[in-house]
A and B are shown apart, each in its own frame.
Chain A
Amino acid sequence: MKMVRAFIRPEKEQEVVLALEGAGLPSVTKMPVFGRGKQKGLQVGPIHYDELPKTLLMIVVDDQDVNKVVSIIQQKARTGFIGDGKIFISPVEAAYTVRTGEEGL
């Protein structure tokens, strides 16, 4: 299993999640975060924004679905401008469903 963490524009979150649902992966956890990247925030005239709001999507999927998830997020969250976000993938060793106590997604 892998955990996909995607930092995306808040306004793109619904599109991404609905596309993932269409691909048969409805489960996602989201949280609002603030962050900065290579551009060290954003300069608009005299005003400098050090940190910008983003939405963090956390999706745990089986290994074979990782590429599908990443390509869907790339397609739907892309605008071509600076600040589209990043996707990180990390390993997950086990998953449990609390309701049944069983192991597995």
Chain B
Amino acid sequence: MKEIIAIIRRDKVSETKKALEEIGYPSMSIQSVEGRGRQKGNMCAEMDSEMPESFCAGVKLKPTPSTYAVEHTLPKVALYVPKKLLTIVVPDEAVQKIVKEIIRVNQTGRHGDGKIFVAPVEAAVRIRTSETNEEALS
């Protein structure tokens, strides 16, 4: 079994859910998280990498610095972009199909499309019936 952890744009969640439902893997956990990547939380770079940073002054959608940094006036603030984190546990053979589908649905070609991680899972148990491993997933 493998755990697929996908960090994607917030507005792509319903599309992703629908696409995964169609290929037969409807179960997942969804979390709201904040994150930053190689652009260091710069939302302008995420929307359009060609846009110079000075253009961002008028942009309404701004990343949120943490209140701690503002209160303590740190010389620099780490910025974050809100994202959704999907966690999907699937049998080994389904991993490639799901990864491909997530990439197909979420790809816009601009920075901030997100990352997908694949990690091993040792055991799974369905609490209702005490089924274990692959039976618990289906």
Contacts and interface: CB of A to CB of B under 8 A. Distances in A.
Nearest to B2: A93
**Contact-size category for B:** 35 or more
A80 interface: no
Interface stretch (A21-29, A34-42, A43-51, A63-71): A21-29
A58 to B, nearest CB: 8
Given A29-B85, A95-B115, A99-B113, A14 B38 contact: no
B113 A98 contact: yes
Q: Is the interface of A mostly helix, strand, loop or mixed?
A: mixed
Contacts, number: 94
B85 A14 contact: no
Contacts of A92: 117-119
Contact of B34 (A15, A21, A31): A31
Interface string B74-87: 10111010010100
Contacts of A28: 35-36
A98 B116 contact: yes
B103 A96 contact: yes
Given A26-B36, A30-B34, A31-B33, A99 B109 contact: yes
A17 B78 contact: yes
B114 interface: yes
Nearest to A15: B74
A15 B74 CA distance: 9
B41 to A, nearest CB: 8
Interface of A: 1, 3, 10-11, 13-15, 17-18, 21, 26-31, 58, 60, 90-99, 101
Interface of B: 2, 6-8, 31-38, 40, 66, 68-69, 74, 76-78, 80, 83, 85, 99, 102-103, 106-120
